[in-house]
Amino acid sequence: MGKKVMMLGNEAIARGAYEAGVRVSAAYPGTPSTEVSEALVQYKDELYAEWSPNEKVAAEVAIGASMAGARAMACMKHVGLNVAADPLYTASYMGVTGGLVLVVADDPGLYSSQNEQDTRMVARAAHVPVLEPSDSGEAKEFMKLAFDYSEKYDRPFILRTTTRLAHSQSTVELAERVEHDLIPYEKNIAKRVMMPAMAKGRHAVIEEKMKELEKDSCVLPVNRVEMRDKKIGVITSGIPYQYVREALPDASVLKLGMVNPLPKQAILDFADAVDELYIIEELDPMIETQVRAFGVSCKGKELFTPLGEYSANMIRKAILGVGVEAKAPAEVPNRPPILCPGCPHRSVFYVLKKLEIHAAGDIGCYTLGAVAPLAVVDSTICMGASISSMHGIEKAAGKEFAKDWVAVIGDSTFLHTGVNSLMNMAYNKANGTVIILDNSTTGMTGHQDHAATGLTLQKEPTCSVNIPELVRALGVPHVQEINAFDLEALETAIKRAKDEDGIHVIITKTPCVLLDKRKKPLYIVHSDKCRKCGMCLKPGCPAMSKQADGTVHIDDTMCTGCGLCGQLCKFSAIEKAGE
């Protein structure tokens, strides 16, 4: 017996990859997938892992490593798979040499995402098999199986997780790493050069491979039947399996570890063996639609929502008609996520608000600029879309309209896909202002390095993209670097950009407050000087509140000493403590 430890689902996936003999991993951070790569770093003596600038690049790195005969993987969140969709669909035609696994994390319940898309649907369209574990122990084992199956069936595999699996801890039994030698490279243009003549042939091959896998999946150990009372039978997979076990401990269950392709015969046999069949799956009715197409009658989405996460109680109520009793929730004010105290984005948004400017937003902490009291971000679509959508706004509504707009994008997001959008603006003679909120990290996902931080995933020093030079090289004439907390300089630069034609890029280079280890003196309010004007409250710093007498109070457990409030106070009522 190996040692037993508690692991996050994501740590268990990394452990499974390690034990499976993975040699190469590439990823772009994205909640809830980020910790897989962070956990892989501990095995750096035996495998190579990197942050790539985006998921397309990461997937291609993994595809190349597989071509070279290594077991390889790429990790991403569900929307990252959209970015990697182009290589995914064609890598599916090519098949693999060394085992190839994409770890893709869905986010039912939208804890940290812009949509609730279901990766299983993408995988089906791409003819890519999917394994889906139900706890950390299975996550580790399924990762190993995914590599074995990938090589056996010549298919890239997806290991699909969800937030609840990725970020839950449970027990994992450790095993030793099994090394796999590189499979010797052989040139094979029919398999690897996907031009029409060869791709036609490969399309036929993958249809056959998927049929073979579908047949075999009826006996593969990842799918299992748990026969108990036959009155209720449930087909389920992933985290919902745990809710089913909790809610219906006596029910029979067909637990699917492989959700694409489905084991048709096993499903028909299970359906025959039980009186009432339920399909319990979060998000889209992916299993249910196919089960119905097999001619099996079942109950699914007429009882269960396609939105958000499930729970045991939801299943009890829907199937047994009774749930656990609980009091009604208390009516309390919401507590939405906010920019941290001392966040350099806050002062930029404050200036934009003052100048009544609309911001086309992007993906990162600065999405929070959409909420009150700043509320300057008008749109958030996907990585890099701030710049290109603002370009579309200018082309449609004209440059006068666009003068009241800027695009805001973080440094990591700019390098992810924003560069292409800015190149497009320059190439197509656009007018507009782009603010690159350069906090020198990938913030929202928990501070990962990227191509402009000068450090690799292993924290080894490396070259660093010079963002202002890159921007100039794209053909942008007006590039200015400003400290995010210099309100005067910011306002001047934004006004100038607004008044002039052409493209202006303002880079606010100020580190994320959570990484800034410098101890700065905190700010205090001299209440005798406070005129109760409320100016200092406008940026919505969570450390500042109005007291009963109208004067302002700064919470010393939250203040970081950024000094934004001090700049705004016209009466010298807010100063550094001790001055």
Tell me which residues touch another protein (CB under 8 A).
6, 8, 31-32, 34-35, 111-112, 135, 164, 167-171, 239, 242-243, 245-246, 249, 311-313, 324-330, 332-340, 365, 367-368, 371-373, 444-446, 537, 540, 542, 544-546, 555-558
Find the shortest distance in angstroms from Cβ 334 to another protein.
Answer: 6
Place of tokens 């804890």: 111
DSSP 300-322: -TTTS-SSS---HHHHIIIIIS-
- Taking the least distance from each CB to another protein, the nearer of 341 and 566 is 341
Give the CA distances from residue 366 to residues 256, 470, 484, 559, 562, in Å, rounded to whole numbers and listed in that order.
Answer: 39, 22, 13, 19, 17
- Taking the least distance from each CB to another protein, the nearer of 204 and 372 is 372
CB 363 within 8 A of CB 28: no
CB 459 within 8 A of CB 449: yes
- Taking the least distance from each CB to another protein, the nearer of 4 and 211 is 4
- Taking the least distance from each CB to another protein, the nearer of 297 and 334 is 334
Structure tokens that stand for 149 in this block: 């199956």
Find the shortest distance in angstroms from Cβ 34 to another protein.
Answer: 8
Q: Which helix (H) or strand (E) holds 569?
A: none
- Taking the least distance from each CB to another protein, the nearer of 199 and 371 is 371
CB 406 within 8 A of CB 390: yes
Assess whether the previous peptide bond of 133 is cis (omega < 30° from 0): no
Assess whether the previous peptide bond of 373 is cis (omega < 30° from 0): yes
Find the shortest distance in angstroms from Cβ 343 to another protein.
Answer: 9
The residues facing 532 across adjacent strands are none
- Taking the least distance from each CB to another protein, the nearer of 316 and 509 is 316
| Torsion sign over Cα 336, 342, 345, 350 | positive
Find the shortest distance in angstroms from Cβ 152 to another protein.
Answer: 31
CB 261 within 8 A of CB 129: yes
Find the shortest distance in angstroms from Cβ 374 to another protein.
Answer: 10
- Taking the least distance from each CB to another protein, the nearer of 423 and 558 is 558
Find the shortest distance in angstroms from Cβ 236 to another protein.
Answer: 12
The residues facing 360 across adjacent strands are 379, 407
Find the shortest distance in angstroms from Cβ 206 to another protein.
Answer: 35
- Taking the least distance from each CB to another protein, the nearer of 311 and 492 is 311
Strands 258-260 and 130-131: antiparallel
Q: What does the alpha-carbon distance between residue 74 and residue 50 come to, in Å, rounded to a whole number?
A: 10
Instruction: Identify the three-state secondary structure at position 224.
Output: strand
Q: What does the alpha-carbon distance between residue 523 and residue 539 come to, in Å, rounded to a whole number?
A: 15
- Taking the least distance from each CB to another protein, the nearer of 21 and 80 is 80
Find the shortest distance in angstroms from Cβ 337 to another protein.
Answer: 4
Find the shortest distance in angstroms from Cβ 518 to another protein.
Answer: 17
Q: Phi-psi bin for 442: left (phi > 0), alpha (psi -120 to 50), beta?
A: beta
